[in-house]
Amino acid sequence: MAKGTHSPAALQVEVQIALCSDPDEVVRALDLAPRDTPRETWLFDDAALTLFERGLRFRVRATDSGTEVTLKATIDHCAGVSPALLPAKVGKCEYDMHGDSLTAAVSLSTRLYESTAKRLLAGRLSLADALSAPQVRYLTEAVKLWPLPPDLRQLGPIEVLAYRAREKPYDVDVSRLPSGERYVEISRKVALADAVAARKSLDNDLARGGVTVCADQSAQAVNKLRALLRAN
């Protein structure tokens, strides 16, 4: 194992809470300010949500600095991942906390050339052909899913506006789908040992602001995919 790669002290958790109050009310209640300009994001899956059911997510994100494709794969625990499958600077393993659920996830990203990004988003290049060698290797060796399903669809664009709290260490993302539906999520990244305390702190801030936390924290991801499929 590479030094510090999966040591408990080095592991990070992104504490995430789906919010069901109106997005504009959330911004006012938490005194939020836009963190940057809106960015566009696309997801990929087929009509049966084959990738989602396998714990996989492909995200293409366009920003002012370029376009990046990320593979995210849910796994049992970070300690079980071979460091050889997580090259430095492009791969990592972290934990996500949704409600009381803590799950590990591998993330592998690659920056796309502008011409490649344009071809991918215009439908002239398949997702498989846009992936990097480390991403393909992970799908082949760890997930045992290569080639990818043949009928993947490009879902989006999703307009994401990120907000920051003026005096609090968390971020809020408001995602607008092509249909106009909006989803709101608050998040904070902390060390693994601090995850429970961070969640309680977020819950307290939301309660003080009168912000409603979604009852089903596990539903937002699949609901977003289904809404995107309906609009596709």
Read off the tokens for 161: 């506006």
- Neighbouring CB atoms inside 10 A of 1's CB total 10
Reply yes or no on whether the pLDDT at 9 is more than 70.
no
pLDDT for the residue numbered 232: 83
Higher pLDDT, 26 or 2: 26
Distant-in-sequence, close-in-space partners of 27: CB < 8 Å, separation ≥ 6: 163, 172, 174
Q: Please say if the pLDDT value at position 5 is more than 70.
A: no
HSE-up of residue 221 (Cα within 13 Å, Cβ side): 18
- pLDDT at position 19, please? 98
Fold (topology level) of 12-231: Hypothetical Protein Pfu-838710-001 (2.40.320)
CA–CA dist 40, 10 (Å, integer): 31
- pLDDT tens readout for residues 56-111: 999 999 988 899 999 999 999 999 899 999 999 999 999 999 988 899 999 999 99
pTM above 0.85, yes or no: yes
Domain ranges across the chain: 12-231
pLDDT digits (tens, 9 = 90+) for 110-129: 999 999 999 999 999 999 99
